[in-house]
């Protein structure tokens, strides 16, 4: 009796085993001799592998492996491990009769005679391609969720830092400007003051980018014709990239308008174009374009699943630069992450675009691979019913103040309060300083002869918005200003106050006062 016959005799005493094995169609169950040649074949194996029993019996099982695995010696290694350790179990690519690959879960058990002689192997193969795809999708979803949570946490931290930094800049900038005004031009060192003032302005720009990433900047959304906007800034973009890079635009006819802040979109495009330029040190091509897209409830692009169903405008910037590997691409939109080297970038350009897109109700998508360039897509909501989406306060042209006002200034930060009060006095107003909303109400109750209230928004106990609401209930004739570094003020109710973004210069404060007075006159008329 040869080896193959002894193997069948050991396992098929009454044929019942064969009937059981043949009845199973979801698993390929077959046997190998000690050298790896196939000696039995069930219906499941035929369904899974594609070979009939007549075609495959006597063939070596290595034909099911990919060429790479065969060259690596995996089939022989699997048999050795099975014989030595009592079992071989693994997952990997296998090949059907027609050459199609599938992901298989494989178990190989050795079969020994009572005397310990190796008779062969029992092999079970299961097609787990769909299961693997589902697990991979689950892992990718989990990874996107973790990344989203990570970015949200970083955004909250960045927003908090930007808020505190705004207060510091507020103090430094206002103090420097007041000092600069009070010093005669001929005094030595005035140019150093000018440099310091310019540095605070750059710091303010930096905080705006941080707030953009944190989705806490102020956005003034309206219907924007994107092709018109891009063509209008074409000269600026070309000057930003230099003569060694060719720039072109590709816009389809009849694109819908986007509902966004035009200035922030311009800034986002400048950031993307500059990034593209830096990725092409020896020159190349940059293409800016846009297309309409729909995010549905059933059929969605995987990377856009968090967007609400609806119509979007996809604005894209594509370059022919060095591209990014997967690790760099994953971190590209993180604040302060940069590959440009020390002193060559803040690492806030893509973070700003990411935050702007998210705050606008859209999303930034980055597609890149090494030596294949990068495509940045900004998905933006389409302006469908602008009148219903935002209550627009009529613009008021500020006029120069002609009267001295009695103003109550409220801020829980004593340094900011002092700076604000000094600027108000420099403008010729009488100022009472208080450090809380409660103290402000107490002061108003004891002395109602105030023309205007300017309050910080982020105060403990009672916010600036809550204070303004109470003041308008008790003193409807008072003009009010809310100063804030965030974009957390609602649009509803904004007809009762003027928003003043921190950090603000003296001219910005004066303009807000004029606007608040005009708003008060409008309410009385």
- Tens of pLDDT along 170-205? 777 777 777 777 777 666 666 777 777 777 776 666
Please give the C-alpha separations between residue 74 and each of 176, 251, 411, 467, in angstroms, as whole numbers.
74, 53, 72, 74
The larger pLDDT score, comparing residue 344 to residue 277, is at: 277
pLDDT score of 508: 85
Section 495-508 average pLDDT: 82
Lowest mean pLDDT among 60-74, 97-111, 402-416: 402-416
pLDDT of residue 96: 94
Rounded average pLDDT over 328-355: 65
Q: How confident is the model at residue 109 (pLDDT cuts 50, 70, 90)?
A: very high
Strands (E), 334-451: 363-368, 374-381, 406-410, 430-434
- Taking 70 as the threshold, does the pLDDT of residue 455 lie above it? yes
Say yes or no to pLDDT of 59 above 90.
Answer: yes
Q: What is the mean pLDDT of residues 261-273?
A: 84
pLDDT at residue 261 in the model: 83
Q: At what angle do helices 129-182 and 190-213 cross, to 10 degrees?
A: 150
CATH number at 222-389: 3.30.565.10
* pLDDT recorded at residue 187: 66
Could you tell me if 28 and 45 are in contact, meaning their C-beta atoms sit under 8 angstroms apart?
Answer: yes
What is 406-524's CATH superfamily? Answer: Response regulator (3.40.50.2300)
pLDDT above 60 for 217:
no
Residue partners of 336: CB distance under 8 A and separation at least 6? 346, 347, 348, 351
Q: What is the pLDDT of residue 392?
A: 36
Res 433: pLDDT = 94
Q: What is the architecture, at CATH level 2, of domain 3-127? A: 2-Layer Sandwich (3.30)
Q: What is the pLDDT of residue 351?
A: 75
pLDDT value of residue 334: 66
The confidence score (pLDDT) of residue 391 equals 36
Looking at the chain, the whole-number percentage of residues with pLDDT higher than 70 is 74
Average pLDDT for the chain:
80
User: How far is it, in rounded angstroms, from Cα 177 to Cα 423?
Assistant: 9
Of the spans 208-222, 293-307, 335-349, which averages the highest pLDDT? 293-307
- The pLDDT, as a whole number, for residue 31 is 92
Return the top range by mean pLDDT from 299-303, 390-394, 451-455: 451-455
Lowest mean pLDDT among 40-44, 158-162, 348-352: 158-162
pLDDT of residue 505: 81
Running DSSP on this structure, what letter comes out for residue 87? Answer: -
Of the pLDDT bands very low, low, confident and very high (cuts 50, 70, 90), residue 68 is very high
Residue with the bigger pLDDT between 432 and 347: it is 432
For residues 207 and 235, the model is more confident at 235
Domain boundaries, the chain: 3-127, 138-213, 222-389, 406-524
Q: What is the mean pLDDT of residues 255-273?
A: 86
Q: Cα–Cα distance between 378 and 363 in angstroms, integer?
A: 6
pLDDT of residue 399: 39
Q: What pLDDT shows up at residue 336? A: 56
- Does 375 sit behind a cis peptide bond, omega within 30 degrees of 0 on the bond before it? no
pLDDT given at position 33: 94
Q: List own/partner pairs for 230-236 with CB under 8 A and 24 or more apart.
A: 230/269, 230/288, 233/266, 233/269, 233/270, 236/270
Q: How many residues does the chain have?
A: 525
Tell me the pairing of strands 406-410 and 430-434.
parallel
pLDDT digits (tens, 9 = 90+) for 299-316: 445 567 678 888 899 999
Dihedral of alpha carbons 485, 486, 490, 491, sign: positive
Identify the pLDDT of residue 67.
94
Q: Report the pLDDT value the prediction gives residue 441, as an integer from 0 to 100.
A: 92
Average pLDDT over residues 10-29: 63
Residue 318 has pLDDT above 50, yes or no: yes
List pLDDT tens digits, range 71-85. Answer: 999 999 999 999 999
d(CA 83, CA 121): 9
Other CB atoms within 10 Å distance of the CB of residue 520: 19
Per-residue confidence band for 434, with pLDDT thresholds at 50, 70 and 90:
very high
329 or 334: which leads in pLDDT: 329
E-only strand ranges, 425-477: 430-434, 452-456
DSSP string, 207-250: HHHHHHHTT-S----EEE-HHHHHHHTHHHHHHHH-TTEEEEEE
The backbone torsions φ and ψ at residue 390, rounded to the nearest 5 degrees and listed phi first, read: -155, 140
């Amino acid at each position: 009796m040869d080896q193959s016959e002894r193997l069948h005799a050991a396992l098929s005493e009454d044929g019942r085993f064969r009937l059981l094995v043949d009845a199973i169609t979801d698993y390929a169950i077959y046997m190998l001799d000690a050298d790896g040649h196939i000696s039995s074949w069930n219906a499941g194996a035929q369904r899974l592998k594609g070979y009939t029993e007549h075609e495959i019996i006597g063939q070596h099982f290595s034909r099911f492996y990919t060429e790479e695995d065969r060259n690596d010696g995996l089939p022989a290694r699997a048999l050795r491990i099975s014989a030595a350790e009592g079992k071989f179990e693994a997952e990997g690519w296998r090949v059907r009769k027609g050459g199609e690959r599938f992901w298989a879960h494989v178990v190989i058990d050795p079969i020994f005679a009572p005397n310990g002689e190796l008779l062969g192997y029992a092999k079970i193969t299961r097609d787990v391609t769909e299961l693997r795809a589902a697990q991979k999708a689950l892992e990718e979803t989990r990874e996107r969720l973790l990344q989203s949570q990570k970015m949200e946490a970083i955004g909250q931290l960045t927003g908090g830092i930007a808020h505190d930094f705004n207060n510091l800049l507020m103090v430094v900038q206002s103090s420097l400007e007041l000092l600069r005004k009070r010093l005669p031009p001929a005094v030595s060192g005035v140019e150093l003051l000018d440099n310091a003032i310019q540095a605070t302005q750059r710091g303010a720009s930096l905080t705006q980018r941080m707030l953009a990433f944190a989705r806490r900047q102020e956005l003034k959304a309206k219907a924007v014709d994107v092709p018109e906007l891009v063509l209008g800034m074409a000269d600026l973009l070309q000057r930003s990239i230099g003569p060694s890079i060719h720039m072109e635009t590709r816009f389809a006819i009849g694109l819908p308008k986007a509902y966004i802040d035009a200035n922030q979109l311009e800034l986002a495009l400048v950031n993307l174009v500059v990034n593209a330029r830096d990725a092409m040190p020896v020159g190349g091509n940059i293409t800016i374009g846009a297309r309409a897209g729909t995010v549905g409830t059933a059929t969605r692009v995987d990377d856009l699943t968090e967007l609400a169903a609806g119509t979007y405008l996809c604005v894209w910037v594509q370059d022919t630069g060095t591209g990014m590997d997967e690790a760099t691409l994953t971190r590209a939109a993180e604040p302060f992450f940069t590959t440009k080297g020390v002193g060559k970038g803040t690492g806030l350009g893509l973070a700003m675009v990411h935050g702007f897109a998210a705050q606008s109700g859209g999303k930034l998508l980055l597609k890149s691979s090494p030596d294949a360039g990068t495509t940045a897509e900004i998905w933006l909501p389409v302006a469908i019913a602008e009148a219903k989406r935002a209550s627009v306060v009529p613009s008021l042209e500020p006029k120069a103040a002609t009267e001295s006002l009695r103003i109550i200034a409220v801020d829980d930060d004593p340094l900011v309060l002092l700076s604000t009060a000094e600027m108000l006095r420099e403008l010729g107003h009488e100022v009472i300083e208080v450090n809380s909303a409660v103290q402000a109400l107490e002061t108003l109750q004891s002395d109602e002869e105030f023309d205007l209230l300017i309050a910080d928004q982020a105060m403990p106990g009672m916010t600036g918005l809550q204070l303004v609401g109470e003041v308008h209930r008790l003193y409807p004739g008072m003009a009010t200003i809310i100063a804030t570094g965030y974009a957390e003020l609602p649009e509803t109710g904004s007809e009762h106050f003027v928003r003043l973004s921190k950090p603000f210069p003296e001219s910005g404060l004066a303009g807000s006062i004029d606007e608040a007075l005009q708003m008060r006159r409008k309410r009385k008329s």
